[in-house]
Amino acid sequence: MKVVVLTGAGISAESGVPTFRDAGGLWEGHRVEDVATPEAFARDSDTVQRFYDARRHAVALAEPNPAHDALAGLERALGDDLLVVTQNIDGLHERAGSQRVLHMHGELSVARCTACGARSPVPGDLIDRPACPACGERMLRPDVVWFGEMPYGLDEIEQALASCDVFAAIGTSGAVYPAAGFVVTAAEHGARTIELNLAASEITPLFDEVRHGPASIVVPDWCDELR
């Protein structure tokens, strides 16, 4: 049985990482246009760097929760038949033990050089303009996919969606594309689809089955059933 799981900010909420759109979410105090677009970075890179440096500090204090742990356990049972595609840029899936994780919106812990394109582990706060280890230029940006930028791994994701038996979306509002459309692709290819979320989302009607509740409860239960 081949399974694709899409996760969003909701799976990390109980780890203390704020979501984007719930009350008190990340975007509060910041308009998306001011921090998560290439135009924002061109206009005011310091504000963008500080936004991501702050999130990197916050995520460092967070711990994986039972939902992340359950998906790591599911991978130990299913191996390469499970692909976790995450919209999240925190590293909590890996810290819980998941090894096959596709970060379609990039990762907070990776920097990308705007001069030479090289990727490298973030050496510290990017507001301090550290040098690129490959070319020496002091022009590193977060290796994060902003609005208007092409997400990573779409070919691999499309292939996985076209051949999976089960597609689950966990902790995502279904507000952002192309991720919000993955359930349609999976269903078109005959997969059974399930949404595990705290509340109804914009894409709830598209799923065969919906289970509402906190991820730390509904995800371990679902993983136990699946194994």
Active site (catalytic) residues: 105
**Segment contacting ligand BV8 (CB under 6 A): 41-49, 110-118, 159-167, 168-176?**
168-176
Q: Alpha-carbon distance 15 to 216, whole Å?
A: 9
Q: Residue 81 Cβ, how far from ligand BV8 at the closest point, in Å?
A: 24
Tell me if 53 contacts ligand BV8 by CB under 6 A. Answer: no
Tokens found for residue 7: 């996760």
Q: Is the distance from CB of 6 to CB of 169 less than 8 angstroms?
A: yes
Q: Alpha-carbon distance 213 to 10, whole Å?
A: 11
Q: Is the distance from CB of 223 to CB of 196 less than 8 angstroms?
A: no
Measured from the Cβ of residue 14, the count of other Cβ atoms closer than 10 Å reads 20
Q: What secondary structure letter does DSSP report for 216?
A: H
Q: What secondary structure letter does DSSP report for 112?
A: E
203 three-state secondary structure: coil
**Segment contacting ligand BV8 (CB under 6 A): 7-15, 75-83, 112-120, 125-133?**
7-15
Tell me if 222 contacts ligand BV8 by CB under 6 A. Answer: no
Tokens 């694709």 correspond to: 4
Nearer to ligand BV8, 20 or 82 (CB): 20
**Segment contacting ligand BV8 (CB under 6 A): 39-47, 129-137, 138-146, 203-211?**
138-146
Tell me if 111 contacts ligand BV8 by CB under 6 A. Answer: no
Number of residues forming the site for ligand BV8 (CB under 6 A): 37
Tell me if 10 contacts ligand BV8 by CB under 6 A. Answer: yes
Nearer to ligand BV8, 10 or 73 (CB): 10
Q: Alpha-carbon distance 167 to 208, whole Å?
A: 10
Q: Residue numbers of the site for ligand BV8 (CB under 6 A)?
A: 8-10, 13-14, 19-22, 25, 36, 87, 89, 105, 144-151, 154, 171-173, 175-179, 197-199, 201, 214-215
